[in-house]
Structure formats: structure tokens, C-alpha cells
Structure 1
Amino acid sequence: MNRLPCLFIASVCLWPLSAAAGEPAAHVHGAASLLVAIDGKNLTLNLESPLNNLVGFEHTPRTEKQKAAVRAMAERLNQPASLFIASPVAACTPLSVKLESPVLEPTKPAGDGHADLDGEFVFRCEHPEALRALEVGLFQAFPRLQRVDAQVAGPRGQSAVRLSPQQRNIAW
């Protein structure tokens, strides 16, 4: 099944919720956005964050320490089961991860401006009817992150919530 139409519909449906969640401006240090779409057995998470939240800088890595920070970020994000914990009864397992950022592509310099990371995390849930919540572990993995504006679209409707290091759970 082609996920593109479902994700497009979810994005269009969630657009009005951005104001309710206090969506961050295009690029706000300390803030990220997370779109959660539940479609059949698939749980799809789309994360957008300034690189500063994840590695502490936004330019092309110049030093070995900065290159190591980029590798560590990619390694953490490529283990989505430790960052996004769905309702255990739903039995969700990671299916795919896609990460896009100029610092991950050596042929495309990030420059010295404001650079982001876009991530797509897809989980397959054996019991999607039991999927009622998601714990977001990004704050522990990336301490510079202070808030995540999350929007959810699924069979139970739409919702929006602002997450913080103290409030890491989304329930629907």
C-alpha cells in the first residue's frame, strides 16, 4: 500500500492543529515538532528539529568531535524503539527509519546557517487497536531539546499536545 496518500491526508488534517499545539516557528532552538499518524497497522512518526537540539551546532561538522556528535546522533535516531515507546500491548516494532539532514550527506555542505534534521520512523503494530499512547524519549537522548509540539491523527481523531522533559507522554 502506498503510504504517500495517507501521510498527505494526515498532514492536511493536522495542519489546523499546529496553532493549538503552539507549533514552533520554522526554526526554534530547543523546540521540535512531531507528527504521529496511525494508519492500519502502521504507526508513522515524522520528526523535525533544528540540528542544534541534537548535536549542538548547525554547520558542516569541522572537528572530529563534531563529526563524532553527528555519528552519535544518527546512531541514536536509528534505534527508534528506544526513543519512541508505544503502548506495549500494541506490540509495535520498528519497520524503517529515514533521516535527512545536510550533516548526514558529506556531498551537501550544511553551510553556516540554520540546518534541521527531518526523520521518519515507521513502526508496524500487531495490535493497532490497543495503541493508545506513545512515550517520547527524545529529551533523555538529546538534552538540548526542551519541547516537542506533537500532533496525532488516527482512527480516534486528532489531537495536539506540547511535550517537555517533565511531560513525555502522548495519549489518545
Structure 2
Amino acid sequence: MSEFLSRTSVAPRLRACVALVGASLIFVSAAQAHGSHSHGHGAVRLMMEGAILSATFDVPLESFLGYDYPPQGAAQEEVWRAFTRRLQNPSSWLQPTAEASCQAVRHEVHPDPATLDAKADIPNIVYRAEFRCDRPEALNAVSFTAFFDHPGLKQLRVQLVSPKGRKTVTVRPRFPALTF
């Protein structure tokens, strides 16, 4: 059999195929070491339970900053400072319709930007915000305000769970609102 393989064009093709599979495995390993994400894309889980609207964003930091490594230089330091200030205001991420009279009551971010190792790559940011709505029955849409300050953010895949049911949609900067 080996004589047949060496006399035909199958052996070079087989070697090329094995090399391609090996290179693919190296690429996948490198991608997994960097984290499972696509720059510019993020995911949001949006839940309405009673009077509480909660949103959990899972987005690569590069989508917000334009880089996903520790800040280098004055310009990147300023981008980082502006981003950390926006983390303190849930309305910088999500804005419920005014008619529902929703107020931010809690927010958190993981990992905490203040505790990140300055020499390590920065992973995805998971940001969670909760709003208490005085008129939850009037909540019929939310606007993803995160697009306004982050041009690197191209789309969010949103999974909505509400008393009206479930739906999954993709929102983009051009149409940043989701209607229930």
C-alpha cells in the first residue's frame, strides 16, 4: 500500500491535509488562550421580572476601547479612564423607555477594572445592571446606549425574557432599540 501511496499524488495531498489540520489546531489553541469572543460583537441577556429589568452584557473589551491589552500611552489611558467612568452609570449601557419610570438600582462589572493585572491581556467584560421600574407595564422598549460612546461595538445579540415571552434579536448602532 505504501508503494501505491508514494507512486500516486495521494501522499503529497495527505501530507498537506495533515499539515492543514495541525495548523488549524494551533490556531484554535491560540484563539482559546485569548478568550472566546469576536471583536465588535457582544451578547446581552435582558430579563424583565416583576418591576425589575436586568441586563447582563458579555462583550470583548476591544469592542469598547479599541484594544484588549493594558493601556499603553496617554491616549489609551484616557480611553480607559472614560470607560471606567461610564461603568459607574448603567444608563451609559442601557436606557429603558421613559414611560416606565425606571431607575438604576444596582450595577457590577467582572472582572473589576481596578484589580486587573497591568501586564495581562484583558478578557471580556461582563457588566450587569438592574433597573426598578415604577410602571413595568409601560416598559415596551430599551435602547442600547453603549453604542453611542463605543464605535468599535458593532452588534449585540440580545436574548430577551419577559412576561410577554422570549425572543432573540441582534441590535446594531444604526437601530439600537429593542421593542418588547
- TM-score normalised according to structure 1 size: 0.77
What pairs with 1:7-156 in structure 2 (closer than 5 Å)?
26-101=36-111, 104-106=113-115, 108-109=117-118, 111-112=120-121, 115-156=123-164
The count of residues paired between Structure 1 and Structure 2 equals 146
Q: State the AA in 2 paired with 1:156.
A: K
133-142 or 25-34: which moved more? 25-34
Task: Give the 3-state SS of the residue equivalent to 1:60 in structure 2.
Answer: coil
Q: Please state which structure has a larger fraction of its residues in helix.
A: 2
Contact conserved, 2:100 with 2:138, CA < 8 A, in 1?
yes
User: What RMSD, in angstroms, separates the aligned Cα atoms of the two structures?
Assistant: 1.9
Partner residue, 1:157: 165
Distance in structure 2 (CA, Å) of the matches to 1:101 and 1:70:
14
* TM-score normalised according to structure 2 size: 0.74
Indicate the structure whose relative CO is greater, using CA pairs within 8 Å and at least 6 residues apart: 1
Give percent identity, aligned residues only: 24
For residues 132 and 107 of structure 1, what CA distance do their matches in structure 2 show?
A: 37
List gaps (5 residues or longer) in structure 2. 1-34
